[in-house]
Amino acid sequence: MAPALLFGQRAWAQAKAALPTAGPAWSQLSTPQREALAPLAGQWATIPPENKRKWLEIADRYPQLSPEGKARLQARMAEFAKLTPEQRRTARENFQRAYELPRESRESAVQQYQLLPDDKKKELTERSQRKDAAKSAQKQ
């Protein structure tokens, strides 16, 4: 039964990927949705349909925020939407990891990161990537 379920789900995913759906157009959004997602207006047409659904979920939560919360959310919205899917995935992982640490350790990591010069960041990233590649090669 499990392989049949897996096959069915894969077939459904493939069928869905083949459908030419782009999600709702900016003009189809309600006024509160357009107000909440205003920083995304220019790039809305290029956002994949699943991401649009996620942003509409966020727009539903927007009215509950304080004026400061609304301003912060909108200030970071466009920057976040411009990240690659891989960067967004990393951002979510790092955010969760950061909140597993005490506040002081979290702030220390942010400070260390911000103090690192760009070329040093690049070097450390490459070194970390090489280490990860070696680890995954050992596992195989």
Partner 1 sequence: MNQDEFGFRVRQALNDGAERLDYRTVLRLEQARGKALALQRRAGPATVRLPALQLATAGAAPVDGGGPWSWLRGAGWAAPLVALAIGFVAISQWQEELEIKRLAALDFAVLLDDGPLDAYADQLFGVLLQAEQKADD
Q: Residue 136 Cβ, how far from partner 1 at the closest point, in Å?
A: 14
Nearer residue to partner 1 within complex by CB, 41 or 53? 53
Residues numbered 2-41 forming contacts with partner 1, rule: CB under 8 A: 4-5, 8-9, 11-13
Q: Which amino acid is at 110?
A: V
Element housing 85 (H / E): helix 85-98
Name every residue whose Cβ is closer than 8 Å to that of residue 26 and which is 6 or more positions away in sequence: 34, 41, 44, 45
Q: Which amino acid is at 84?
A: T
Burial of 37 (0-12, 13-18, 19+ CB in 10 A): buried
Nearer residue to partner 1 within complex by CB, 42 or 69? 69
> Interface residues with partner 1 (CB under 8 A)?
4-5, 8-9, 11-13, 50, 53-55, 57-58, 61, 65, 69, 72-73, 76-77, 79-80, 83, 87-88, 90-98, 100-102, 105-106, 108-110, 112-114, 116, 121, 124-125, 128-129
